[in-house]
Structures are given as C-alpha cells and as structure tokens.
Amino acid sequence: MSMREGEPVLAGVRERLSRVAGPPTRAQVVDAVQASGLVLGSTALAEMLAQVRAELFGAGELQRFLDDPLVTDVLVNGPAEVWVDRGRGLERTDVDLGTAQDVRELAVRLAAAGGQRLDDASPTVDARLPDGTRLHAVIEPVCASGAVISLRVLRARAFTVAELVETWMIPPGWEPVLRAVVRERVSFLVSGATGTGKTTLLAALLSLVDRGERIVTIEEARELVPDHPHVVSLVARRPNVEGSGAVDLSALVRNALRMRPDRIVLGECRGAEVRDVLTALNTGHEGGCATVHANAAGDVPARLEALAALAGMDREAVAAQAVSAFDVVIHLRRTRHAGEGARRFVSEVALVRRDERDRLVVTPALTWNGVGAPQEGGGWPALVERLGPGEGVR
Ligand SMILES: Nc1ncnc2c1ncn2[C@@H]1O[C@H](COP(=O)(O)OP(=O)(O)OP(=O)(O)O)[C@@H](O)[C@H]1O
Ligand SMILES: [Mg+2]
C-alpha cells in the first residue's frame, strides 16, 4: 500500500491522535490504526505503523532519503520537484508529494517536530528535527507556492581526519600540517562555498584537540559533534512569539568567554558576531576556530570586512583584529561537475597577514586542484615557521 492509497486511513488515524495530549506513544498509534477499522496481519500492521509514524512524526515520503546513508541533502521545491544529494551533486527524484498544499503541510509538520511554528505570521523556519536533521523551510508567500524545504542530514559521528584522507578530501601530504595546526593551537578559519564540507572538516579537526582541553562550540543549530570528551555546545535561540527570549550568537560568544574555554568555536560566522569573535581571539584566547562562507580563500578578507561592517567595524579595525585573531585559512571546494568522481576537497591552506599597504590578505601556503600534485605557495615558509619543528610538516 502506498502512502497515497493509505491517505484516508491516515486521516482517520491523525484525527484520533489529535485527541491525545502530548506526543502519542507507539501503543496509542497502534490503537489509532486498529480503531481506524483497518484489519491487518502483523507484517502489514508493522508496515502501516512505520508509514504512519513517518507521516505523523517523520518526513513522510522523504523519510527514505533521510534514512539512506549516502544522502546528505534533501531539497523540496514543489510537490514533484524533490532533489537529493548523494555526494555526486544534485539528482532529481521521481517522488510525488501530492499538491502544493501537501508540501506546505509537510513543512508545517516538520517545523512542529522541531519545536517551531511555521505559519502566516512566521513563514520561515530554521530548526533541528528530533533525529538531528537540520530543517529550513519557507512557505507561501515567501516562496511562490506551497513550501520550499531544505533538509541537511546530520552524521551520527564526525569523520576522522584519516577517513578524510582516505576519501581524498585531504591530500595525504597535508595531514601532518592540519594536525600541527590543531596541536600548535593555531587559530583557523575553514572557508568554502555552501555545502563544501566546512562543518565536516571542522568537526574532524576538533576531534584532534588534546583530550585535556575544554571546547565550547557556538552555533545557530547544533551540527558540530566532534569526537572529543569535553565539548560544551551552545545553541542560539530565536525569539518566541512575543518577540522575547532571543539569545543570539554574539551573546553566546560573550558567554563562552566566561566558561573557561580552551577553544572557542563559532560554527559559522555569518553576521555581527564576527566582532565578538575577533575580540575574544584578541584577548588571549588562542586556538579559536570558525567556518565562513567564501568562494575562494582570497575572498575571506572581504567577507570578514563585510560581516564586521554589520557590527559597525571599519576596514582598518577588521584588518588589525583579524590578523592577530586568525593565523590560517583552510579552504574547501567541490569539483565542478556532478556525477561519478564528484568530490569535496581541501583546496588551500593559507596564511592571514597584512600586505605592505596594511590591507588584510590571505597568502596561499599550499594549494591543490583536487587531482594533481599539491603545490607549495608563497606563504609556505612562514607557515612552517608558525607550526614549528613538529613531526612531518617540513
Ligand atoms: N568527505 C565527505 N564524505 C562524505 N560526505 C561528506 C564529506 N564532507 C561533507 N559531507 C557531507 O556533505 C554535507 C555538507 O557538508 P557540511 O555540512 O560539512 O558542509 P558546509 O560547507 O558546512 O555546509 P553549509 O554551507 O551548509 O554550512 C553534509 O551532509 C556532510 O555530511
Ligand atoms: Mg556548515
């Protein structure tokens, strides 16, 4: 039985469960299915239950993609426009979600599962589903019709750096350099375009942090799950319906400073909180790190300047603070073409410095195009100097 054929039954089940206070238990779902009048054998009942649960609490027709270990993103633009990324770029699926109204209802239900509301008064949502999946959704009139849903699957465990080397995200020769960056408590920014693996690489690098250090992570939605025994995760909160209770990233960075962190980690620099991070890293907090959206490592200074401008900082102030806050930029790219062989990879390790005209610049120390041999750049000697005589760097 497909979900569509089961629709009348589901409607009855949903109606019954709506009378239950709080999230229904499995037994209540079984009762509701049986009370819907359907007579089913035990296998069919189990199947029906899985469907009902997916429909009521999960992502419905989309659940099977979320359960697929290869899928990283599920994107819904409309009822018959569902795309998935299995690591080879976006692929269109043949899923049919019904009508625009069904897509809207799915978005509302997912938002509710993430503890958020999505309606005319609040037509955009950024939430985490109970299984950790990151949800973003907008409904009409922000989008043309129904809803646009973007789901990002959370991996249950961080990749190890060794695994990223095995899959050629990191060229083998660079592993000692990245290990030294972490060991020497060099502050770094992971940059890249959207979905290039910034959070993934950051989590892998944080897993290398000395077990004796205390890591405080600050994020919009919890994504960073490093393999480390001492991680405090702070997550920003949106305002409630009355518009109060918000805790933004800037406030969290300031709070983190009082929590005796050895490492302050900002999941993503995306606004005025860059000012607080720069301040923190200029006041004796070493080994901080963050991710930032930028299409090339060389674009990072302009990006930092633009973000800091939101907090009222001028270019000179950003240059002065950024150069002492961050030592290194680690940049990620994705191969241009989708399909077999498409990959995410570290394309550059670069140094943050000021040029002769005192502008903030990023100088490549190592570069790689993802296939050929990696190259050393002008910043390499200075990077070696900064990382010290550690094992295997030279
Ligand atoms: N080396 C890899 N192997 C397999 N999957 C990967 C790898 N790197 C990243 N991914 C997957 O790709 C997706 C995007 O990665 P990630 O969230 O790290 O990117 P991002 O650059 O932080 O994205 P955003 O711009 O949305 O913050 C994730 O689902 C992640 O699990
Ligand atoms: Mg990210």
Q: Any idea what the CATH number is for the domain that residue 128 is in?
A: 3.30.450.370
Q: How confident is the model at residue 216 (pLDDT cuts 50, 70, 90)?
A: very high
28 & 176 share domain:
no
Domain extent, residue 44, equals: 1-57
Given the structure tokens 């819904």, which residue do they identify? 76
pLDDT of 1: 45
Specify the 3-state DSSP secondary structure of 366. Answer: strand
**Distance between Cα 195 and ligand 1 center (Å):** 5
Ligand 1 pocket test, candidate residues 344, 345, 346, most atoms within 8 A of CB = 344
Of 39-48, 221-230, 364-373, the one with minimum mean pLDDT is: 39-48
174 & 201 share domain:
yes
Of 42-51, 58-67, 165-174, 246-255, the one with minimum mean pLDDT is: 42-51
C-alpha–C-alpha distance, residues 102 and 260, integer Å? 48
- Give the full edge-to-edge strand order of the sheet including 73-78: 90-92, 81-85, 73-78, 147-152, 134-139, 124-128
Assess whether pLDDT exceeds 90 at residue 362.
yes
pLDDT of 192: 97
C-alpha–C-alpha distance, residues 358 and 349, integer Å? 21
Specify the 3-state DSSP secondary structure of 12. Answer: helix
295 & 326 share domain:
yes
274 & 323 share domain:
yes
263 & 143 share domain:
no
Could you tell me if residue 394 is inside a domain? no
Higher-pLDDT residue of 86 and 52 is 86
114 & 24 share domain:
no
Could you tell me if residue 393 is inside a domain? no
Task: Enumerate residues 6+ apart whose C-beta is below 8 A from 43.
Answer: none
**Which whole number is the average pLDDT over 31-56?**
70
Residue nearest to atom 25 of ligand 1 (CA): 194
- This prediction has a pTM of 0.79
Could you tell me if residue 392 is inside a domain? no
**Distance between Cα 199 and ligand 1 center (Å):** 6
184 & 99 share domain:
no
- The enclosing domain of 343 has a CATH number of 3.40.50.300
C-alpha–C-alpha distance, residues 220 and 267, integer Å? 8
- Cβ–Cβ under 8 Å, residues 150 and 85: no
Is any ligand 1 atom within 6 A of the Cβ of residue 191?
Answer: no
**Distance between Cα 308 and ligand 1 center (Å):** 26
Specify the 3-state DSSP secondary structure of 171. Answer: coil
- Provide the β-strand partners of residue 147: 139
C-alpha–C-alpha distance, residues 226 and 236, integer Å? 19
Q: How many domains does the chain have?
A: 3
To 5 degrees, how large is the angle CA 20–CA 21–CA 23? 85
Q: Which amino acid is residue 43, in one-letter code?
A: T
**Which whole number is the average pLDDT over 75-79?**
96
272 & 305 share domain:
yes
Structure tokens at 340: 């077999």
**Distance between Cα 152 and ligand 2 center (Å):** 10
344 & 311 share domain:
yes
User: 120, 154, 188: which is the final residue of a domain?
Assistant: 154
Assess whether pLDDT exceeds 70 at residue 379.
yes
Residue nearest to atom 4 of ligand 1 (CA): 87
Query: In angstroms, how far is CA 343 from the centroid of its own chain?
Result: 17
Assess whether pLDDT exceeds 60 at residue 4.
no
201 & 311 share domain:
yes
Mean residue pLDDT across the chain: 88
Assess whether pLDDT exceeds 70 at residue 2.
no
Q: Which amino acid is residue 241, in one-letter code?
A: V
Q: Is 318 exposed, middle or buried (0-12, 13-18, 19+ CB in 10 A)?
A: buried
178 & 49 share domain:
no
Q: Quick one: which atom of ligand 1 is closest to the CA of 200? A: 18
What does each C-alpha distance from 174 to 34, 219, 299, 365, 394 come to in angstroms?
59, 28, 22, 11, 11
pLDDT of 149: 97
Is any ligand 1 atom within 6 A of the Cβ of residue 89?
Answer: no
Is any ligand 1 atom within 6 A of the Cβ of residue 195?
Answer: yes
Residue nearest to atom 19 of ligand 1 (CA): 197
Helix (H) or strand (E) holding 384: helix 380-387
- Cβ–Cβ under 8 Å, residues 300 and 322: no
Task: Enumerate residues 6+ apart whose C-beta is below 8 A from 306.
Answer: none
pLDDT of 3: 45
Is any ligand 1 atom within 6 A of the Cβ of residue 132?
Answer: no
C-alpha–C-alpha distance, residues 95 and 103, integer Å? 12
